[in-house]
Amino acid sequence: MDAFRAPENESLVSSSSGPAKWDPFLRPLDSIQPWHFRLLAAVMVVVTSLSLAENLAVILVTFKFKQLRQPVNYVIVNLSVADFLVSLTGGTISFLTNLKGYFYMGYWACVLEGFAVTFFGIVALWSLALLAFERYIVICRPLGNSRLRGKHAALGIAFVWTFSFIWTIPPTMGWSSYTTSKIGTTCEPNWYSGAYTDHTYIVALFTTCFIVPLLVILVSYGKLMRKLRKV
């Protein structure tokens, strides 16, 4: 299976000779007005600029002030780095492609964007789960007086990046694929295909990279709130 496949439910456009497949790498979708793409581009440049500036500020401030270089802040910086990279890759490419109205950069750039945005997005979500678990350990103290140390933070960050890479590399190697969205200006995992391999990957990805970290966050903060109520 190729790293990239066009979605099975690609839009069809009418022509005098009958319906023809729309290629998101060659032209915009006819059913969307050009100004809609320009509006999306304007929104993306605002959102991307704010995200880049805010996350860069967190990173720089943490490294500038020594008193902020605490283990828990390593995880916060890791979260900011992931969000920064999501905006830098996905936001920038989305802005450029929406200016044109289609993914003019080609399918390898599509695979790269789909991989990068998914990878950094999962890193960010698992970083939030790691922060929630750290707060639970520190405040509820299920392990006694243990607290997050530098080596623990480093191990947690290493786990987050390794785990995220493991779950985002399969579409580039044959298990599912990265493909364009329905409007053809962004790329993402192939949610649209009904093929067995695509379906199993999406279920596995959704479970391990969304449901599990969400449960970690909910359980950690749920126990934390019960502890605070007792106090």
Residue 187 lies in a domain: yes
CATH code: domain of residue 58: 1.20.1070.10
- In a domain, residue 157? The reply is yes
Give the pLDDT band (50/70/90) at residue 21. confident
**Between residues 222 and 7, the one the model is more confident about:** 222
Q: How far apart are CA 54 and CA 139, in angstroms?
A: 28
Residues 117-144 have a mean pLDDT of 88
Domain around 165: 34-230
Q: Indicate the number of domains in the chain.
A: 1
| Residue 12: how many other CB atoms lie within 10 Å | 12
SS3 content of the chain, % helix, strand, coil (to 5): 65, 5, 30
Give domain status of residue 9, yes or no.
no
C-alpha–C-alpha distance, residues 211 and 154, integer Å: 24
pLDDT over 90, % of the chain: 64
Report CA dihedral (144, 147, 150, 152) to the nearest 10 degrees.
50
* Calculated CA dihedral for residues 157, 162, 164, 170, nearest 10 degrees: 170
Give a yes or no: residue 15 inside a domain.
no
Whether residue 56 lies inside any domain: the answer is yes
Task: For the chain, give the mean pLDDT.
Answer: 87
Q: Is residue 3 part of a domain?
A: no
Tell me, yes or no, whether 11 lies in a domain: no
Give a yes or no: residue 20 inside a domain.
no
Residue 102 DSSP SS3 = coil
CA distance 86 to 137: 29
